[in-house]
């Protein structure tokens, strides 16, 4: 697209123009799919499903009296302006690190190979069984794969539901 | 000097706390703070006072993937717990010792944060850090003094808890950490998975952590034959022995959700292995036609205004993930293979003994038929001349705490602790060496 914009005289068929950007995305799609799968696994460890973020000092606001509100509003607008760099840095420091960050910091890869550690304790990939696929719509055994996003479904009916609801949400 | 010992099993899901020597912990509360819609503040869960409406409550947990990541939050929760335990006994932490459970392979930074919390924030006089497999082993060994576990002094503890699942061999009360294996799946991931399935298929329950925990505990079970159960789950009408309805709370008549028909929920137990009455050819067709009218009635029964949802194959596909994490897209082996790998990293002389003394603990082993399924999966993977014997604890949630209570009341306990003076002298890392893990 950028290419087209920079040089409008270049002659390309309309189809190429339409498809080109999608092709790029499609080429990267296997990566996108694994990333989507990882994100999904990550989501299984979330406490709150929403965008709930850590609010370190929300309790301060609650202790206010109703009478003071007008005054506080003035004061707040003042403090809000000030709350730029310093406050943000403070909040960032206050937010606890996630376990993965701590794990990264511990640098367990550098330990000698005979020392048992968190990383080595993980069971490896399965040997005796392989992955079974269940229909993401209804849960029964899935025979088919969505050509666009790689998600599984079991029947035409489920495919339609899938196309209407979830499809392509993971890609791009 | 006889001092109080506070035993604290600091799980990711539930805190179990009480005094050493007791049979049961005096406090069992969720290890989290929550904020219901009706409140602006984060509240402590309290079992005694009137139940708060937990609909769409947000949750904050100090523990992520099993390990303590937010010591400030944990301090709040512990202060709340200790005040309720210790207040009744009129002793402060300064005159008591603490027996604390910590997951295997805790990172040094996590250990340091824990030590700071115990000695600097709460001023405990002494600390002993134990891991859950050895405490489970201790409890099981003392419960049956003539059993194999106590005679051989070894067992394989499978701890399937809230954050993850460990299979760890224990030998003479020490966990063999070089052989312990972990699957990154526990009750929390299962609840979230169930949430995801139900939200996509019927009602959006992504915010209802507590509700879905309840659904999981009441309705999920482990399937003995997944393909057969999937077939049954597809059927309609009365033939579908697995479908059951859960009623969501309406906030007026009932603030808690419940299973609509408890008998209906138990019908799956009739699916005996081997005898597949529903599979007789011919009958199923007749059934379908005969029950078309009934099907319509059924439809009417589950109208959307009443806020309920049906579960069918979700009931067994959710716990199934512990046996086959690969189905979720995780690159990890299932529980049976996990056990085999843990055992085979031990000395060959120990292996037959370990297979005969598998102990299941942790809340996620409470799914009905968990033990039978595990046995069925494990048998083909274990050499023929070894016996497989799986014991499930009478109360898998409290098993670890009871082991801790036993240990705390043993005469050697005081000598095993690290005292506050030693901590101040040596620091966290060197004190930790005493616990051998």
Flag if B207 and A43 touch (Cβ within 8 Å). Answer: no
On whether the CB atoms of residues B268 and B315 are closer than 8 A, the answer is yes
**Eight-class DSSP state of B118:** I
What pLDDT does residue B299 have? 46
- If you average pLDDT over residues A61-81, what whole number do you get? 48
Q: Exposure string (b/e) for A28-48, b if CB count within 10 Å is 16 or more?
A: ebeebbeebbeeebeebbbbb
Q: Which of A78-82, A129-133, B303-307 has the highest mean pLDDT?
A: A129-133
ipTM of the complex, rounded to two decimals: 0.77
How does pLDDT run across B243-281, given as a tens digit for each residue? Answer: 888 888 877 777 778 888 877 778 777 775 544 444 444
Strands B174-175 and B181-183, sheet pairing:
unpaired
DSSP labels for A32-97? HHHHHHHHHHHHTT-S-SS-----TT-HHHHT--STTHHHHHHHHHHHHHH-SHHHHHHHHHHSPP
State the CATH architecture for B4-134+397-434: 2-Layer Sandwich (3.30)
How does pLDDT run across B345-371, given as a tens digit for each residue? Answer: 999 999 999 999 999 999 999 999 999
Ranges of each domain in chain B: 4-134+397-434, 144-184+329-392, 187-269+303-325
Q: How far apart are CA B4 and CA B82, in angstroms?
A: 13
Top residue of A44, A140, A151, A162 to mutate, by most chain B CBs within 10 Å, is A44
Domains B144-184+329-392 and B187-269+303-325 share a fold: no
What pLDDT does residue A16 have? 61
Q: Which residue of B has its CA nearest to A98?
A: B69
Q: Which residue of A has its CA nearest to B182?
A: A122
pLDDT band at residue A17 under the 50/70/90 scheme: low
Write out the H or E segment, with its range, that includes residue B135: helix B132-143
Q: Would you state the structure tokens that stand for residue B215, as one six-digit string?
A: 């659904």
Chain A 73-102, CB below 8 Å of chain B: which residues? 96-100, 102
* Chain A CB within 8 Å of residue B203 CB: no
* Chain B CB within 8 Å of residue A48 CB: yes
CATH hierarchy code of domain B187-269+303-325: 3.90.640.10
Taking 50 as the threshold, does the pLDDT of residue B197 lie above it?
A: yes
On whether the CB atoms of residues B227 and A141 are closer than 8 A, the answer is yes
* Chain B CB within 8 Å of residue A141 CB: yes
Class of domain B144-184+329-392: alpha beta
| Comparison of pLDDT for A2 and B61, the residue scoring more | B61
* Chain A CB within 8 Å of residue B69 CB: yes
Chain B 299-338, CB below 8 Å of chain A: which residues? 312-314, 317, 324-334, 337-338
How does pLDDT run across B214-245, given as a tens digit for each residue? Answer: 999 999 999 999 988 888 888 887 778 888 88
Tell me chain A's radius of gyration from C-alpha atoms: 25
- pTM of the predicted protein model: 0.82
Q: Would you state the structure tokens that stand for residue B162, as one six-digit string?
A: 């809230």
């Amino acid at each position: 697209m950028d290419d087209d914009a920079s040089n409008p005289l270049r002659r390309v068929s309309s189809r190429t123009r339409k498809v080109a950007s999608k092709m790029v995305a499609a080429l990267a799609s296997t990566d996108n799919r694994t990333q989507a799968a990882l994100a999904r696994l990550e989501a299984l460890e979330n406490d709150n499903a929403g965008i709930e973020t850590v609010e370190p000092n929300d309790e301060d606001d609650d202790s206010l009296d109703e009478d003071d509100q007008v005054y506080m509003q003035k004061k707040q607008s003042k403090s809000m302006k000030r709350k730029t760099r310093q406050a943000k840095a403070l909040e960032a420091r206050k937010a606890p690190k996630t376990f993965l960050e701590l794990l990264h910091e511990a640098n367990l890869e550098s330990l000698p190979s005979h020392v048992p550690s968190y990383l080595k304790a993980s069971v490896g990939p399965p040997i005796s069984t392989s992955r079974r696929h269940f229909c993401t719509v209804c849960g029964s055994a899935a025979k088919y794969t969505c050509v666009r996003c790689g998600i599984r479904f079991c029947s035409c009916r489920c495919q339609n539901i899938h196309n209407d609801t979830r499809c392509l949400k993971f890609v791009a | 000097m006889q001092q109080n010992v506070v035993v604290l099993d600091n799980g990711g899901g539930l805190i179990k706390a009480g005094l050493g020597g007791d049979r049961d912990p005096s406090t069992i509360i969720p290890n989290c703070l929550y904020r219901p819609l009706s409140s602006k503040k984060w509240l402590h869960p309290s079992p005694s006072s009137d139940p708060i409406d937990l609909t769409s409550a947000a949750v904050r947990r100090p523990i992520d993937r099993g390990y303590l990541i937010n010591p400030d939050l944990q301090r709040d929760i512990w202060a709340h717990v200790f005040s309720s335990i210790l207040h009744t006994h009129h002793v402060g932490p300064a005159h008591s010792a603490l027996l604390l459970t910590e997951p295997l392979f805790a990172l040094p930074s996590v250990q340091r944060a824990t030590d700071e919390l115990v000695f600097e924030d709460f001023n405990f006089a002494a600390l002993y850090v134990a891991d859950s497999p050895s405490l489970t082993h201790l409890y099981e060994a003392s419960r049956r003094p003539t059993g194999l576990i106590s005679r051989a002094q070894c067992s394989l503890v499978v701890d399937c808890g809230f954050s993850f699942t460990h299979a760890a061999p224990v030998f003479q009360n020490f966990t063999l950490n070089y052989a312990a294996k972990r699957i990154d799946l526990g009750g929390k991931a299962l609840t979230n998975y169930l949430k995801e399935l139900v939200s996509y298929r019927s009602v959006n329950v992504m915010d209802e952590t507590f509700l879905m925990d309840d659904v999981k505990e009441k309705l999920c079970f482990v399937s003995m034959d997944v393909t057969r159960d999937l077939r049954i789950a597809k059927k309609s009408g009365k033939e579908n022995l697995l479908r059951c309805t859960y009623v969501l709370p309406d906030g007026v008549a009932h603030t808690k959700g419940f299973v609509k028909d408890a008998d209906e929920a138990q019908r799956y137990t009739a699916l005996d292995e081997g005898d597949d009455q529903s599979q007789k050819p011919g009958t199923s067709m007749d059934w379908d036609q005969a029950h078309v009218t009934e099907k319509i009635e059924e439809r009417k029964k589950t109208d959307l205004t009443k806020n309920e949802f049906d579960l069918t194959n979700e009931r067994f596909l959710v716990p199934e993930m512990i046996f086959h994490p690969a189905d979720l897209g995780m690159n990890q082996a299932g529980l049976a293979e996990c056990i085999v790998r843990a055992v085979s990293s031990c000395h060959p002389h120990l292996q037959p003994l370990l297979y005969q003394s598998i102990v299941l603990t942790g809340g996620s082993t409470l799914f009905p038929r968990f033990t039978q399924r595990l046995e069925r999966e494990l048998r083909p993977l274990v050499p023929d001349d070894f016996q497989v014997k799986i014991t499930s604890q009478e109360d898998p949630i409290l098993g670890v705490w009871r082991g801790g209570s036993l240990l705390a009341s043993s005469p050697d306990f005081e000598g095993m602790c690290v005292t506050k003076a030693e901590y101040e002298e040596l620091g966290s890392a060197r004190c930790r060496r005493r616990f051998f893990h």
